[in-house]
Structure 1
Amino acid sequence: MPSAQIIGTGGFQPGDPIDNATIEKYVGPLPEDVLSGLTIEQRFWMIDPETGEHHDSNSGMAYKAAVRALETAGIEAAEVDLMILATGTPDYTLPPSVNLVQERLGVESVTTLEIRSGGAGAAHGLDLARTYIEQGIATTALVIGVEAISPAIAPVFLETEPHKIRMRDRMPLYMFGDGAGAIVLRAGEAGGLRRGAARAIGGSRKPGIWAIGGGTHAPLLQQQRSKKLVDLKVDVVGAGDFTPVMVSEALTHTLAAAGLAAADTDWCLIPEGNAGWMLDSMREAGVQTAEWEALEGRIFDNLAMTGACGCAAVPLFLDDGWRNGQIQPGHRVAIIGVEATKWMYAGIVCDWTAPTPAASSRVPA
């Protein structure tokens, strides 16, 4: 049975970085303890923050990340026979963004799938690609995670004085960024992805993040008359309470699916920011496990420099770790994605085989 090997990655974030001082100018300050708890120092937006004008798009960012990943892998777009895209902020309800990327890549015929499970989406996509490759259905796969969140949050501050913006409405501006990451997989003989794990454990628990508007939940005329066409609600307290539970279960489930112990891994990618905050929260929630103890010093992400970017987080951070030489051939990497909208997670372990890229390819997109 062939194995699904990661042979290249690529990342893209639009425009210049926007630091916290700039966000404060637009929406007002956050309490210092809240700001430090977010652990985010900058983010990137595809909009002009002064005017709200779009300088890019969801599918445009996905295309740029895909091109970079394909170039690094040494693969032509025509060789891809499976394309999976994860996003919660597509250009349109239909057609799917994955098919817009397919068109821009010039691929006439390819199997395509689109996933909407937020931060868990890219890890979901990797496990689906693994299944297709192992079963011989596909040989070369492209998995993309992309998010365009800034258009939804810009109305909070455009044409509104900062002192008039409520504290809960300021939070998303400090948290979220835009971007895309892509991962190329190819059938190989050894190493690569192990069987993954996924679960939605929200049940009757209310969403931690809720993007309301633009769908079919209410009459469109009624939505048009509302104050905001899209209202992004974030339950910061709820997310802080339940995310450690979700992450702890995700790690345990992922390692079990791979038949491994935490000590068998070299790195664990979890896009949740400050690992110290996570460990403290787990202790308080009583969900700290032996797996977490064994991973001390081996958890990484790049949240502080990218902002929270949903489906793009896992592939963006994986690309950063690989290009910077942190992830090297022979390393075993546990990849965990979690999503607070309805409390979902997905995880997968990769026995890394891709050589470290040349220094010239390490410059950020």
Structure 2
Amino acid sequence: MRPTAFLASVGTALPGDPVDNAALSKVLGVNEDWIEVFIGTRTRHFARDLGTGAVRWSLADLCAQAAQEALAAPGVDPSAIDFVVLGTATPDTLMPATVNHVADQLDLDQVPTLQLQSGCAGAVQALGVAQAMIASGQYRTGLVIGGDVCSKHLDLRRDVAGAAPADLVNYVLFGDGAGAAVVTDEPRGQRLALRHVLNRFTGLGRSPGQVIEWFGLADRYDDRQALTEDYKAIEESVPVMAVEILWEMLDELDWEPEQVDYLLPPQLSGRMTRRITEALDVPTAQEVSCVADTGNNGNALPFLQIEKLLERMSGAEKALAVAVESSKWIKAGFALEKV
């Protein structure tokens, strides 16, 4: 029998006020219309001040805020947390792990803490780890967190007015944020059953679609870009992989497409998400997306989608989430059912 865990609550955190395309284009010196057409994202949130570059929120701060919201929800007992799992691609430091700073802010002690280094699949991987820990029988309640502060990798002093679109996309695609969920061994609070989690590396022999460099003391003066992306490869591969994930999960769950009430598609950008949703072609399912308003904030996205999902869900409805990590090509997804 497939192990089942339950999401009792969800919390999210977005730093500061939303930054619209007019404000972003003014800072970067790029065309506002190009952002609208090429990316299709209206607003995003940044943990750094765009004018001064000063850090206003760390990843740990955002994760703790999201977790506090989840822990304050009805039907949740903060003292019952048995473990914490964090998925992120952009930790605050190499050591200590950011998850431990989060636990410190939450006054959690004497519990296992785990941190998974991953991109858009990290939050899904964290849910999978939590599901397995609950299924082991050793733990009853856990805190799962996903978040990223992508703005730390963007050089706001650089003149990007003449940059190629493949380079410029990194300055307009991403945002910052965090999300969290309390996962339990029996239905509580929101009573959202985690029916299945998919996490599979499929990048054997393939070049990465995205690379985030981690510069050490010896190479801090290297001219390499901190963040590079093969946007063409992502545009070509992600819609195809998303369809493969959808049908693989439906087959594993023994669900028919028309049984899916809500679809949570990959959240690359407003434009790409529209294209992927069209490719998935599940006309009976309501789309649940957030990226056009939040920017691509990586591992926060699934929790932001689940938060919007819970606003709509009623009765014994089903939802299916699809995620693709293009860094080294990972298929990911999860299935939820209200019980």
Give the TM-score of the pair, scaled to structure 1.
0.84
The runs of at least 4 consecutive aligned structure 1 residues that moved more than 6 Å come to none
Partner of residue 222, structure 2: 226
Q: How many angstroms apart in 1 are the aligned matches of 2:318 and 2:72?
A: 24
Q: How many angstroms apart in 2 are the aligned matches of 1:93 and 1:132?
A: 25
Shift of 1:278: 1.8
- The 5 Å alignment of 1:68-87 reads 68-87=69-88
Deviations 1:309-338 (A, max 9, x none): 11111112211332xx21234221112222
Give secondary structure in 1 for the equivalent of 2:266. coil
Q: How many angstroms apart in 2 are the aligned matches of 1:296 and 1:261?
A: 11
Q: How many angstroms apart in 2 are the aligned matches of 1:116 and 1:204?
A: 21
Partner of residue 330, structure 1: 316
Does the 8 Å contact 1:206/1:342 carry over to 2? yes
* Aligned with 1:175 (options 156, 170, 173): 173
Residue 305 (1) aligns with residue 293 (2) = yes
Q: How many angstroms apart in 1 are the aligned matches of 2:59 and 2:302?
A: 16
Q: How many angstroms apart in 2 are the aligned matches of 1:328 and 1:318?
A: 13
Partner of residue 264, structure 1: 259
- The 5 Å alignment of 1:196-211 reads 196-211=197-212
* Aligned with 1:187 (options 179, 185, 188): 185
Q: How many angstroms apart in 2 are the aligned matches of 1:128 and 1:180?
A: 18
- The 5 Å alignment of 1:312-327 reads 312-322=300-310, 325-327=311-313
Number of residue equivalences: 332
Q: How many angstroms apart in 2 are the aligned matches of 1:276 and 1:225?
A: 39
Which segments of 5 or more consecutive residues in structure 2 lack a partner in the other structure? none
Partner of residue 101, structure 1: 102
Shift of 1:212: 1.8
Shift of 1:114: 1.3
Partner of residue 12, structure 1: 13
Does the 8 Å contact 2:8/2:182 carry over to 1? yes
Deviations 1:103-162 (A, max 9, x none): 111111112221122111112222221222223121111111110111111x1x32x445
Give secondary structure in 2 for the equivalent of 1:226. coil
RMSD: 2.3
- The 5 Å alignment of 1:113-132 reads 113-132=114-133
Give secondary structure in 1 for the equivalent of 2:312. coil
Does the 8 Å contact 1:121/1:337 carry over to 2? no
Structure 1 residues 38, 162: closer, same or farther in 2, change over 3 A? closer
Shift of 1:101: 0.8
Further displaced range: 172-181 or 343-352: 343-352
Partner of residue 330, structure 2: 344
Give the TM-score of the pair, scaled to structure 2.
0.90
Does the 8 Å contact 1:84/1:125 carry over to 2? yes
Shift of 1:75: 2.5
Does the 8 Å contact 2:288/2:308 carry over to 1? no
Partner of residue 148, structure 2: 147
- The 5 Å alignment of 1:280-299 reads 282=279, 292-299=280-287
- The 5 Å alignment of 1:8-47 reads 8-30=9-31, 32=33, 35-47=36-48
Q: How many angstroms apart in 1 are the aligned matches of 2:150 and 2:161?
A: 23
Which segments of 5 or more consecutive residues in structure 1 lack a partner in the other structure? 283-291, 354-365
Shift of 1:279: 5.0
Q: % of aligned pairs identical?
A: 28
Does the 8 Å contact 1:122/1:337 carry over to 2? no
